[in-house]
Structure 1
Amino acid sequence: MHKYLYLTISLVAVLTYSQTTINGIIKNQDNEPLAYCSVGIKDSDLGTISDENGIYKIIIPDSIHTQIVFSATGYFDQIQNKNDLAANGNVTLEYNSIVLETAVLSNNKMKDKIIGQKSKPMLTFSKMFDENLPTVEQGNIFNIYRKTKLKDYNFHIIPSSKYEEITLKINIYDVKDNLPGKLILDENIIYKTTTTGWQKIDLSQYGLVFNDLNQIAVTLQLVDYKSLENHDFVFGVSAKNSLSKNLLFRRQSQSEWEKNGGIFIASLEIAYLKQKGEKDVVQDEPE
C-alpha cells in the first residue's frame, strides 16, 4: 500500500514540475541579432527578454500551451507555438517602420515646457526593480499637447540603490482607455548609468514628434546590470502619493497592465504648439 502511495506521489510531482526549456537567438532580416526583444507567453505572467546579443532562454511549464509572442521595437510581432520553438528556438523578425509626423511643427513657433514632477518632495516611496525579472515595466501616463516634441525624460533613482552600472530600456506608448496601448517607437531607447539621484535621458535624437495625442505612457525596464563587489544589487525609482492611480506596472509584454496609487518622480521636457481652444497641460498633483 505504501509503495503504491509513494509511486502516486512521485508521478504527481513529475507531472507538476515537468517543463520545457527553449533557447535561441532573435535576429532581423539582415541576420543581425536583436537586443532586448520581449518574449511573452499569452494569458500568463511568464516571459523573458533577449540579451544584448539577441540570445534568450525561457522555461515553460508543460501545463501551458498558449502562444509565445516575440516583440521588438521597430519590428512586427511574431507568434510561435511551444513545440516548434522546442525544435528550433531561433526566430527572425520582419521590419515594421513607424513614421512619425514631423513636418507640421515649426521650431520657431514652439514653446518649451516641463511636464510632471520638477522636484523631489520630502515624502516619497520606492518602486523597486528585480534583477531577475527584466520583463517588468513600470512608469507613468503623461498628459501632453496635441502637437508635442519630446526633448528629455527625467526621473529619480533612490539614493539607497547599489550597483556598478544599470542598463534601462525606455518604452513609449499611446494611451487607450487610460492604459498603455501601442508602442510608438521605431528603435530602442537604451540608457546606461552608474549614478543615483536625478537622471536625464536625451530624447531629442529620436525625433519623437506626436500629433493628435493628448496622453502618452513612458515606462522603464531594467534589462541589464553590473553588481558592486560584496553588495547585493538594489535598484528603485522614487515615487510619491497622488490623487489618482498613475503608477503603471506590467510583468511581461503579454501581461495585463495594472495601475496603482501614486506617481513616479519623473518629468518630460517638451516643445509644443498649443491649438486654438486647447487647455494648458497639468500633470503635477498635490500629495
Structure 2
Amino acid sequence: MKRSLLLIATLQFLFVFAHAQSILSGLVKDSDGKEISYVNIGIKNSKTGTVSTIDGKFSISIPDSLLRDSLTFSSVGFNEKSFLIAQLMANKNLTVTLNEKVTTLAEVKISNIKRKQYKLGITGRTPMLSIPSRSYQKTDIIEQARLIHLKKPSKLINANIFVLSESMKAVNIRLNFYAVENGMPGKRLVEKTIIKKANLQKGWFTIDLQDEDIYLDQDFVVAFEYLPSEQSAISFAAKLGAADSFLRSNSQGIWRKNSVGGCSIYVTAEQ
C-alpha cells in the first residue's frame, strides 16, 4: 500500500514538474509610444507563441524548460526583435519597443499591353476532404498558405481560400506574403497590414487587393492567418494530391507541409 502511494506521489510530482510554466506579460509599442496590434510573439521552432491584443498587450505561458531560450517579436512593417526570456522575466513592467522597418520597393515593370486576369493556385476542391486547423494556444494564430508560381510580372487583384467552418461572430484574418526559401515560406515579402474582419460562411473567402497596389515578379507564398478568437479551430477545403501547401499553428512556429492534399487557395493576378 505504501509503495503504491509513493508511486502515485512520484508520478504526480513528475507530471507537475514536466508541465511547470511561467507567465510573461507585457505591452508592445512602436518608437512613438503607440500600441501595436497583433504582434506575433513566440519561441522560434517551438509550439510556444501568442499574439498581442488590439491594444498591444500580451501574456504568454512559457514552459520552464524553455526559459533559457529567446522570445521573438515580429509584426508587419517593423524590424523583428529577439530577447533572452530571462531578461524579460526580470522586468515587472515590461514594454517591448519595435522599430519601423525601412523598406525599398523593387521596381516591377508591367507591360502597357492590355492585360488579362488569371487564377493562380488551387481553384477546386475534393468533396469530403478537409484540413482541420487548430492553434497550439487559444491566444495564438493558425496560418494556411500555398506557393504561387508566376510566369511574368503581375498585379494581385484578390486572394481566396475555401472555408468549411462557419463563425457565429466576426473573426479577423490577416493576409501575408512570403518569399520562397528552399521550397518553403521564408521572409516576409510584402510589408503591408491587410486584415479583413467578417463572419465566416462555407465557401470562398475573398480579400480584395485592388487598392493595395501589390506587384510581384517572382514566385511567392500567400498565407491566410487566422487571428485569435473565441473559435479556436477552423476547417478549410483541400484538393487531393495538390502539393505546395503549408500550415503552421503558432506564432514563430515551424511551417509544415499539408500531407493529404493542398489547401484550396488561389490568387487572381493581372498579367
Q: TM-score, normalised by structure 2?
A: 0.85
Mapped to 1, the partners of 2:90 and 2:105 lie a distance apart of 39
Please, which of 145, 149, 154 is the counterpart of residue 139 of structure 1? 145
- Structure 1 residues 40 and 226 mapped into 2: Cα distance closer, same or farther (>3 Å)? closer
Superposed counterparts of 1:32-71, under 5 Å: 32-64=34-66, 65-71=68-74
Tell me the CA shift for residue 147 of structure 1: 1.2
Q: Which amino acid aligns with 1:80?
A: F
- What are the ranges of 5 or more consecutive residues in structure 1 without an aligned counterpart? 228-232, 273-287
Aligned to 2:244: 246
Tell me the CA shift for residue 47 of structure 1: 0.8
- Structure 1 residues 6 and 256 mapped into 2: Cα distance closer, same or farther (>3 Å)? closer
Q: Which amino acid aligns with 1:51?
A: T
Q: Which amino acid aligns with 1:254?
A: Q
- Residues 58-90 of structure 1: CA distance to partner in whole angstroms, max 9, x if unpaired? 111111121111011111110111122113332
Tell me the CA shift for residue 181 of structure 1: 1.0
Superposed counterparts of 1:84-99, under 5 Å: 84-88=87-91, 89-99=94-104
Could you tell me whether the CA contact under 8 Å between 1:42 and 1:66 is conserved in 2?
no
- Structure 1 residues 6 and 240 mapped into 2: Cα distance closer, same or farther (>3 Å)? closer
Please, which of 20, 24, 27 is the counterpart of residue 25 of structure 1? 27
- Residues 201-236 of structure 1: CA distance to partner in whole angstroms, max 9, x if unpaired? 11132221123x1x1111122114356xxxxx7632
Aligned to 1:207: 213
Q: Which amino acid aligns with 2:48?
A: L
Mapped to 2, the partners of 1:127 and 1:166 lie a distance apart of 19
Mapped to 1, the partners of 2:6 and 2:118 lie a distance apart of 73
Counterpart secondary structure, 2:89: helix
- Structure 1 residues 125 and 4 mapped into 2: Cα distance closer, same or farther (>3 Å)? closer
Please, which of 57, 70, 75 is the counterpart of residue 72 of structure 1? 75
Mapped to 2, the partners of 1:125 and 1:12 lie a distance apart of 40
Q: Which amino acid aligns with 1:78?
A: K
Mapped to 1, the partners of 2:128 and 2:9 lie a distance apart of 54
Could you tell me whether the CA contact under 8 Å between 1:28 and 1:95 is conserved in 2?
yes
- Residues 119-178 of structure 1: CA distance to partner in whole angstroms, max 9, x if unpaired? x446252222337263331121111134121111122211x5242211111111011111
**Larger displacement relative to structure 2 (167-176 or 6-15):** 6-15
Superposed CA RMSD in Å reads 2.6
Aligned to 2:264: 265
Mapped to 1, the partners of 2:227 and 2:154 lie a distance apart of 28
What fraction of aligned residue pairs are identical, expressed as a percent? Answer: 26
Please, which of 174, 180, 195 is the counterpart of residue 175 of structure 1? 180
Tell me the CA shift for residue 13 of structure 1: 4.7
- Residues 214-262 of structure 1: CA distance to partner in whole angstroms, max 9, x if unpaired? x1111122114356xxxxx7632211112x4322012334332211232
Could you tell me whether the CA contact under 8 Å between 1:129 and 1:222 is conserved in 2?
no
Mapped to 2, the partners of 1:53 and 1:72 lie a distance apart of 14
Question: Are positions 1:191 and 2:196 aligned together?
Answer: yes
Could you tell me whether the CA contact under 8 Å between 2:121 and 2:147 is conserved in 1?
no
- Structure 1 residues 105 and 79 mapped into 2: Cα distance closer, same or farther (>3 Å)? same
Please, which of 214, 225, 229 is the counterpart of residue 229 of structure 2? 225
**Larger displacement relative to structure 2 (200-209 or 129-138):** 129-138
Could you tell me whether the CA contact under 8 Å between 1:100 and 1:208 is conserved in 2?
no
Tell me the CA shift for residue 97 of structure 1: 3.1
Mapped to 2, the partners of 1:195 and 1:162 lie a distance apart of 5
